[in-house]
Amino acid sequence: MLIRRPPDIRYSEVTPKALYLRRREFIQTAAAATIGAAALAAWGGTAAHAQGSGRKLPNVRKSPFSTTEKLNSFDDVTGYNNFYEFGTEKDDPARNAHRLATSKWTVRVDGLVKTPKTYDLDEFIKPHALEERIYRLRCVEAWSMVVPWIGVPLADVIKRLEPQPGAKFVEFTTLLDMRQMPGQRVPVIEWPYVEGLRMDEAMHPLAILAVGLYGEVLPNQNGAPIRLVVPWKYGFKSIKSIVRIRFTDAQPRTAWAVSNPREYGFYSNVNPTVDHPRWSQATERRLGEFRRRKTEMFNGYGGQVAQLYAGMDLRRNY
Ligand SMILES: Nc1nc2c(c(=O)[nH]1)N[C@H]1C(S)=C(S)[C@@H](COP(=O)(O)O)O[C@H]1N2
Ligand SMILES: [Mo]
């Protein structure tokens, strides 16, 4: 995502007074895109370049849903990230995400579901076999990469949780904790990060909850310990570091659509014929390549997902 400061956020609500006063000067003088970087520079980072978790995940089976395209390098996948909770520059997450403590992670499941419950991560994932899913990820910023995720089908998890018949959407929420996630002191969007899917989208076999990549436990900068991956939608739908999954009968108020409704909608399907208000979506740059590629409808997954949107005006439902 590129940031554009939403006009209606009260900075005093989300930032300590001192930071808030200091930031007012930044905002008046600097371009919005530099605010996060300036504020984060003060916190510093340790890792000089991208690091993985270094913890191998055993018993991962290959999935027939994988693309056979050339993988992006481990360094690209773990060093060039969007994770605004750790800063808005592409190398900020790799430098700052070590602050996130992922060992005692829980996932709250509530809303229209048989049994609302807070699960330990292990308990939440263990019932499902891990699969490697090599997917294209297409960011709304018009770059893309190919990532060997490890995860479980979201549909299997949802079936196990047993949503009530009235559940029409699933909402996902990222951790809210500005001590671990210093980027949350900067109101680039309304925190916490929230995403959502219509129930039939969530049940599609391509949607996964990822817990790893490149054979190992998910590096923090990629959304450890558990994140969504929805390959036919722009990258921002693939929410990281999930602490809550809520089933609801109303369309979730997703963070980007709330913060900047003119530029981001609920569906956010990759669609080369609908430009972003500030740039074209017709082509993309694959990380590591020079010549731009044509962006494919639904990021090339149209054969599998187009029927989810039959009869919908995808220009209006962007
Ligand atoms: N919580 C959270 N999830 C997020 C983001 C974010 O800033 N915060 N960025 C999104 C965007 S814009 C993209 S392109 C992908 C990038 O995932 P990656 O860094 O693992 O490639 O994560 C998405 N999930
Ligand atoms: Mo993105």
Are 190 and 173 contacting, i.e. CB atoms less than 8 angstroms apart?
Answer: no
Q: Ligand 2 mean position to 236 CA, how many Å?
A: 5
Alpha-carbon torsion (218, 220, 221, 227), positive or negative = positive
Q: Ligand 2 mean position to 127 CA, how many Å?
A: 30
pLDDT of residue 226: 99
| Residue 315 token pair | 């220009």
Q: Measuring from atom 7 of ligand 1, which residue has the nearest CA?
A: 83
CA gap 83, 92 in Å, rounded: 8
- Identify the structural domains of the chain with CATH numbers, from first to last: 11-309 (3.90.420.10)
Q: Ligand 2 mean position to 126 CA, how many Å?
A: 29
Atom in ligand 1 nearest the alpha carbon of residue 147: 21
Cα 174 to the center of its chain, rounded Å: 9
pLDDT of residue 3: 55
Q: Please enumerate in sequence order all residues whose Cβ is within 8 A of that of 184, keeping only pairs 6 or more positions apart, or say none.
A: 14, 85, 176, 177, 178, 191, 192
Q: Measuring from atom 21 of ligand 1, which residue has the nearest CA?
A: 81
pLDDT of residue 2: 58
Q: Which residues form the pocket of ligand 1, taking CB atoms under 6 Å from any ligand atom?
A: 1, 81-85, 137, 139, 174, 193, 222-223, 235-236, 238-241
pLDDT of residue 80: 98
Q: Which residues pair with 146 in a beta bridge?
A: 136
| Residue 270 token pair | 């990759």
Are 85 and 174 contacting, i.e. CB atoms less than 8 angstroms apart?
Answer: yes
| Residue 184 token pair | 């949350």
CA gap 105, 144 in Å, rounded: 29
Kindly report the pTM of this predicted structure. 0.87
For every residue of 222-289, DSSP letters joined together read GTTT-EEE-TTB-GGGS--SEEEEEEESS----HHHHH-TTT--S--B--TTS-BTTB--SEEEETT-
Kindly report each contact of residues 69-72 with a partner whose C-beta sits within 8 Å and lies 24 or more positions away, as own/partner.
Answer: 69/134, 69/136, 69/146, 70/146, 71/134, 71/146, 71/147, 71/148, 72/145, 72/146, 72/147, 72/286, 72/287, 72/288
Q: Please enumerate in sequence order all residues whose Cβ is within 8 A of that of 27, keeping only pairs 6 or more positions apart, or say none.
A: 5, 35
pLDDT of residue 1: 59
pLDDT of residue 208: 99
Q: Which residues pair with 110 in a beta bridge?
A: 246
Residue 123 has a CB neighbour count (10 Å cut-off) of 12
CA gap 24, 19 in Å, rounded: 8
Q: Which residues pair with 108 in a beta bridge?
A: 118, 244
Are 247 and 292 contacting, i.e. CB atoms less than 8 angstroms apart?
Answer: no
Q: How many helices (H) and strands (E) does the chain have?
A: 10, 13
* Per-residue model confidence as pLDDT tens for the chain (318 residues): 555 444 333 333 333 333 333 333 333 333 333 333 434 444 444 444 568 899 999 999 999 999 999 999 999 999 999 999 999 999 999 999 999 999 999 999 999 999 999 999 999 999 999 999 999 999 999 999 999 999 999 999 999 999 999 999 999 999 999 999 999 999 999 999 999 999 999 999 999 999 999 999 999 999 999 999 999 999 999 999 999 999 999 999 999 999 999 999 999 999 999 999 999 999 999 999 999 999 999 999 999 999 999 999 999 999
pLDDT of residue 248: 98
